């Protein structure tokens, strides 16, 4: 049941409408701690380290104000998703973009995100969960989805949006 798969991964308690952290590492830790409180991960610091190791391989700042850090670790008990927003943005080193170099404002924008999805997955995640994450990745490409994420007034509204958009039909 796909609907349950979304609820399996994310709940109101792993949605942070205004992150306290303005830096990448702290934001990841903040979201990891949410997941630790929910029991999805047993060590928020270890999960943060895993996510940062992934960042070191290549930034998960995908542009468009979105970052999707992900951690694959033994410290993750079950696949889980945490979502955080921050109006003032979170500093997040991104990949250099050729046409942004000329414009310092654009260059700064490239290195800031306001939507963060932390994906925590155990070493062996089930296909159901991977499909939901794939659907999330696909949905983020669409501007209307990002706008809706930015403007949802409550955690409940975010959750409803995710359920509506990430339902996997295949």
Partner 1 sequence: MALQRLVAITSCPTGIAHTYMAAEALSKAAAEAGISIKVETQGSIGAENVITAEEAAAADAVIIAADTNVAEDRFVGKPIVRASTGDAIRNAAGLIAQAGQLAEAAAAAPAAATPTAHADYLASVAAAKASRKSAQAGPYKHLMNGVSFMIPFVVAGGILIALSFAFGIHAYEKQGTLAAALFQIGAQNAFALFVPILAGYIAYSIADRPGLAPGMIGGLLATQVGAGFLGGIIAGFIGGYLALWMVRTIHLPRSLQGLMPVLIVPLVTSLVVGLVMIYVVGEPVKAINTGLTDYLKGMSSGSAIVLGLVMGLMMAFDMGGPVNKAAYTFAVGLLASNVYTPMAAVMAAGMTPPLGLALATRIAPRKFTSEEKEAGETAWVLGLAFITEGAIPFAAADPFRVIPSIMTGSAITAAMSMAFGIQLRAPHGGVFVLPIPNVITDLPLYVLTIVVGTVVTALVVSLLKRPVEETQTTVALTEPSAA
Question: Which stretches of the chain bind partner 1, using CB under 8 A?
Answer: 54, 57-58, 60, 62-63, 68, 70, 72, 77-78, 95, 97, 119, 121-122, 124-125, 127, 130-131, 133-142
Could you tell me the two tokens for 110? 């490239």
Task: List the beta bridge partners of residue 72.
Answer: 121
Name the minimum Å distance from CB 156 to partner 1: 25
Whichever of 131 and 157 has its CB closer to partner 1, that residue is 131
Whichever of 37 and 142 has its CB closer to partner 1, that residue is 142
Q: Could you tell me the CA-to-CA distances from 1 to 10, 129, 157, 161 in Å, in that order?
A: 15, 11, 21, 17
Whichever of 18 and 127 has its CB closer to partner 1, that residue is 127
Name the minimum Å distance from CB 23 to partner 1: 22
Q: If you write DSSP's letter for every residue of 5-28 in order, what string do you get? A: HHHHH--GGGEESS-S--BHHHHH
Name the minimum Å distance from CB 89 to partner 1: 18
Name the minimum Å distance from CB 155 to partner 1: 22
To 5 degrees, how large is the angle CA 85–CA 11–CA 68? Answer: 45
Name the minimum Å distance from CB 80 to partner 1: 12
Whichever of 93 and 97 has its CB closer to partner 1, that residue is 97
Whichever of 70 and 157 has its CB closer to partner 1, that residue is 70
Q: What's the number of CA atoms in the CB half-sphere (13 Å) around residue 45?
A: 0
Alpha helices (runs of H) in the chain, residue ranges in sequence order? 2-9, 24-37, 44-57, 104-110, 127-140, 143-151, 155-166
């Amino acid at each position: 049941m796909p609907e349950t798969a979304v609820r399996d991964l994310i709940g109101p308690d792993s949605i942070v409408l205004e992150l306290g952290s303005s830096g990448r590492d702290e934001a990841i830790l903040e979201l990891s701690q949410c997941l630790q409180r929910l029991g999805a991960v047993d060590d928020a610091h270890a999960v943060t380290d895993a996510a940062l190791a992934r960042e070191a391989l290549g930034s998960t700042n995908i542009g468009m104000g979105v970052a999707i850090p992900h951690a694959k670790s033994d410290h993750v008990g079950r696949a889980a998703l945490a979502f955080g927003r921050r109006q003032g943005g979170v500093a997040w080193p991104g990949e250099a973009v050729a046409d942004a170099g000329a414009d310092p404002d654009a260059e700064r924008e490239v290195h800031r995100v306001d939507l963060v999805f932390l994906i925590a997955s155990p070493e062996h995640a089930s296909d159901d969960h991977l499909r939901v994450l794939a659907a999330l990745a696909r949905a983020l490409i669409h501007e209307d989805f990002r706008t809706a994420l930015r403007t949802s007034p409550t955690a409940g509204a975010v959750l409803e949006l995710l359920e509506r958009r990430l339902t996997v039909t295949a």
